[in-house]
Structure 1
Amino acid sequence: MDTNALKTLPEIIAQNQTPIITKLHANGQEFAVVPVGMQIQSLKDIRDEDRQTPAYRADFVKTHDLASFIAHVGRFKSDDTVLFARLPAITGNNVLFSIRAVIDHHPAGTDTARAGAQRHLVIYVPVLHLRAQRWLDAERKMMAQGDFAAFIEDNLSDLCVLEGFTPPFGTAVATPADLLTLSRGLEVRVNQTVRNATRLATGEVSLTFTTENTRQDGSELIVPEWFGLRVPVFAGAEPFVLPVRLRYKVADGAIKFAYLFHDFDRMLEDTVRAAIDTVRKAHPDLHIVEGSAD
């Protein structure tokens, strides 16, 4: 506070019977000098009450759709707007990833007198696509013969031919038709027990079933080791192809199946990179930071 100005307060009050406005700070902030009680009161709250518009924009918009995020940022962006892309992390079956736009970020440069309020925020938080969620929820879980057959048939549209994928040790890769044949073969043998399981040179497994009632051998059923999955990771995103390994376990004549994703982290990273690239192409003038603004 300007000490010279303070020395003149008694004189100011003595000479004026009504409140006056004077600048007491070096930064030019104004105060009202009120004679009654010799009070000094800031005018900021008083002037804020009379404002027709806010001193700065304060808003928080959250969207799960990338196109909506891009459009909303485009409506309000300025030279000071900065984007922060938080790289993904997996917690349980949830994928955590976001892109945050701070519309009123600090201006570039070293001028500390200019600062952004950082109160105008837009955040894109994608949600897992329902198809990806179904496969994630069931991954690594052993399913009974009939349950696995039903799961494959219910999600048959997600299966695809794996192109350009070389499985380890030259093992065979199933087509969607092969998986359909397997699921239907398991359905008709749901009341049969596995008599023998033989691994073939291709890595596939030949299952021989025995009918419980007649004890007659059933026909062989081929179980592949790999198949292809084509699903979008996030709602609204393009589908990605993922190799999946099929596992089985035979105990007391009963067989159970489970599957394991191969290189799911790579597919997730590719999906995230695609989202960031889409935003970068839509707003090439904005600075993007791969990190958090928290």
Structure 2
Amino acid sequence: MQQAIQHLVTLAQALGKPIDHDGLAAPVALIPDGVDIKSLEHLMHAPTRIRQKITVLDADSFIAYVNRFATPATAVFCNGPEGRTFSAVVDYHQPGLPAWSDHTATYCCPITVEWGRWKAGDRKRMDQASFAEFVEENVKDIVAPDDNATAPSAADMLEISRTLEAKKNITFRQGTRLDNGQVQLTYNEEIDGRAGESGQLNIPEQFFIGVKPFLGGDAFCVPARFRYRIVDGRLQMWFELVRPEKVLEEAYNAVRTKIKGAINEVPLYEATR
């Protein structure tokens, strides 16, 4: 009984005063109101451990951060092409040594504006004016691979879009596939309400875009199929990206290979935290 009383007296005398203990990383104080315990770590010269969670915007920054702070306990986790997230835990657990895991860096493979625009327009049917506007706004992304002689150049696509934009009163009659794989559209153009002019417009079967799916990542050449329908004499046009999910998978694998080869001895695990 006497020992318990003495213990209470000691606690009472310590109210509001710093208490150091061998098991504590930082001194604490007993606060009279509610007899609470408050850490005094914020009054020390430096924190007892790093507590930091950051999100980086490109793979190079992620690699640089990991290499700067890595310790034998550091581990990196990635959750595959679907999640596309890399997480580094600088103060991770070791066998028999649990840790706080308070110091982390995350890279979420953010999508570029360019890829976002093409993905948003994928399989979206457009009238002539809308299609022309879309092509003109994104013409810098259109490329002609050296190994594909029939691929239209950016200039070709720009010319097609301008032609479509200029001919506002056109009635399309039919589409014929040519030997080279292009589609030839036969149309009738009305001028000032008088007799029209007949003509032909050649449209390639597919074109290619060269874009970076991820911010700071590698660029990929992505094929896009041309699609069209003639509805009530009016032309609807759109494009279909060829296996865009495969493009993201390849882009993720390229990032994974880059990070794995640059973080030295830090282990990388396919896992979800």
In which range does the TM-score fall when normalised by the shorter chain?
Answer: 0.7 to 0.9
Q: Which residue of 1 aligns with 2:154?
A: 176
Percent identity over the alignment is: 28
**CA deviation string 1:118-157 (max 9, x = no partner):** 1111111232111111111111111111221222122111
Is 2:68 the counterpart of 1:75?
Answer: yes
Match of 2:272, SS? coil
Match of 1:248, SS? strand
TM-superposed deviation, 1:80: 0.7
Q: How many residues end up aligned between the 2 structures?
A: 253
Is 2:271 the counterpart of 1:288?
Answer: no
| Cα 1:49–1:201 shift into 2, 3 Å | closer
Is the Cα contact below 8 Å between 2:174 and 2:230 reproduced in 1? no
Match of 1:183, SS? helix
The one of 109, 115, 138 aligned to 2:98: 115
The one of 53, 59, 65 aligned to 2:58: 65
Match of 1:242, SS? strand
* Cα distance in 2, alignment partners of residues 247 and 49 from structure 1: 64
* Cα distance in 1, alignment partners of residues 51 and 4 from structure 2: 39
Higher strand fraction (1 or 2) = 1
* Cα distance in 2, alignment partners of residues 29 and 127 from structure 1: 43
* Cα distance in 1, alignment partners of residues 38 and 208 from structure 2: 64
| Cα 1:219–1:277 shift into 2, 3 Å | same
Q: Which residue of 1 aligns with 2:251?
A: 271
Match of 2:81, SS? strand
The one of 196, 220, 224 aligned to 1:216: 196
| Cα 1:49–1:263 shift into 2, 3 Å | closer
Report the aligned-residue RMSD: 3.1
One-letter code aligned to 2:125? M
Q: Which runs of 5+ in 1 are unaligned?
A: 1-8, 21-27, 31-40, 90-95, 167-171
* Cα distance in 2, alignment partners of residues 46 and 129 from structure 1: 44
One-letter code aligned to 1:225? E
Q: Which residue of 2 aligns with 1:100?
A: 87
Match of 1:143, SS? coil
Is 2:192 the counterpart of 1:243?
Answer: no
TM-superposed deviation, 1:221: 0.4
One-letter code aligned to 2:89? V
TM-superposed deviation, 1:98: 1.5
TM-score with structure 1 setting the length: 0.75
| Cα 1:86–1:11 shift into 2, 3 Å | closer
Is the Cα contact below 8 Å between 2:58 and 2:217 reproduced in 1? no
**Greater radius of gyration (CA):** 1
TM-superposed deviation, 1:224: 1.1
One-letter code aligned to 1:220? Q
| Cα 1:49–1:174 shift into 2, 3 Å | closer
Q: Which runs of 5+ in 2 are unaligned?
A: 14-21, 25-34
Q: Which residue of 2 aligns with 1:135?
A: 118
Is 2:200 the counterpart of 1:186?
Answer: no
Is 2:119 the counterpart of 1:126?
Answer: no
Q: Which residue of 2 aligns with 1:160?
A: 143
TM-superposed deviation, 1:160: 0.8
